[in-house]
Amino acid sequence: MVAAAAASVVAGVALLPNWSAGASTVAEPAVDPATKATFQKLADAVFTDRTDALVDGGRQARQQRLAARFSGDVRLSGTLTHREKSALSQLRDRKQRLAALGERYSKANTTVTLDRTRVHGRKATVRVTETTTLTYAKATGNQPKTTGFQAHHELTFKADRNGDWQLTGIRDTDDGIAVNQLAKPTVAKPDTADDNPPAAARSATTWPAPANPKNFSATGYDYKAMAAYAQKYWNNYNPDYPDFNGHGAGGDCTNFVSQALKAGGWKHVPGYTNDWHKWFGNADIQSDSFVGVNEFSWFALSSKRVTSLANVYQLDVGDVLQMDFNRDGSKDHSMIVTYRSPQGVPYLTYHSTNTYNRSLASIIASYPNAYYYAYRT
């Protein structure tokens, strides 16, 4: 964990490049191994700050790190400093919402590795992988002790006339929802026509939920196998299936959920890939319903393999949760339940961003305005 908080890496006018007429100019700033290492350390500080904003005592710990200071000719730009202050404020608000739901994190660890650096003149584009683990406070019995994820980011650095690099932009390259990620902006999506697919019933997010216990022997499916598959492959992808993460691939969340359901006994329904009444997937070919968020919902409901739950807190192991961030009727994300606490809180595991055992309370606190669709499998 980097000792310096990102908020401490800049101070006042030190952020301002020297554009005065008499300033010396460095023609082409160098990006040597030491500079790349500093890029990585600053990124580590930024994402560590974001994580610590969610942790009990995190703010105090961040203040203690101010003494170490971030050193080097790489720093946050003034604009990004203000954005990160706003981000930390949002995350501290999220921490309060989580506390109201009875969830706290006692500690966390964030590390950042540098994957690639490309330099064009005075601009450097840096791709990094963030790995974060948070420890649940007061976890008892066989409840999950930790939650964690891996997220990928693209950072933009620009050099001033003195050759000093400033971090000017941060972009998440995953399609998923990380614990310390800021809420996605609401952007309307165009309407899409289809042959009257079934509409999923929206689920309430109120706590506590009316009782709706799951009969684990009624369907013949192996729900423990579904959870075990998700726990095994949440971060180490199964090579027997394609990986739909990355630019333009649409995200791997539903592909991952379908794999887990298949591991627990869901059978293929072969046919045309674009026929959402069909469902199949392997290394070579996948139906739209196997990998698409909305198409999965349409298949699962029309085939009677799932029923809608009235409340998301009724979810149990092997059940599926989907989210509509924009509240426009087009679902955006799929997750599978891998644990349910004795207190009735489901924990979810998913791809894009790769995450294991994240509590439902955390997700709702992070996205209180999203629409939720809970399915009993």
Distance CA 263, CA 267 (A): 9
Count CB-CB contacts under 10 A for residue 342. 9
Distance CA 258, CA 246 (A): 19
Question: Of the candidates 291, 286, 282, 229, which has an alpha carbon nearest to the alpha carbon of residue 254?
Answer: 291
Cβ-based burial of 99 (10 A; exposed 0-12, middle 13-18, buried ≥19): middle
Distance CA 43, CA 62 (A): 15
How many Å separate Cα 325 from the centre of its chain?
A: 13
Question: Of the candidates 259, 368, 272, 249, which has an alpha carbon nearest to the alpha carbon of residue 320?
Answer: 259
For strands 307-308 and 346-350, give the pairing: unpaired
Supply 306's token pair. Answer: 């799932």
Distance CA 373, CA 366 (A): 16
User: Could you list the pLDDT tens digit for every one of the 377 residues in the chain?
Assistant: 433 444 444 332 233 333 333 334 445 566 888 889 889 988 998 899 899 989 987 654 454 443 234 555 677 776 777 678 778 888 988 998 888 888 999 999 999 999 999 998 889 999 999 999 999 998 788 889 999 999 999 999 988 777 788 888 999 988 778 888 877 654 444 444 446 789 999 999 999 999 999 999 999 999 999 999 999 999 989 999 999 886 455 689 999 999 999 999 999 999 998 899 999 999 989 999 999 999 999 999 999 999 999 999 999 999 999 999 999 889 999 999 999 999 999 999 999 889 999 999 999 999 999 999 999 99
Long-range Cβ contacts of 209-213 (<8 Å, 24+ apart): 209/310, 209/311, 209/312, 209/313, 209/314, 209/344, 210/310, 210/311, 210/314, 211/314, 212/309, 212/310, 212/311, 212/314, 212/376, 213/316
3-state secondary structure of 196: coil
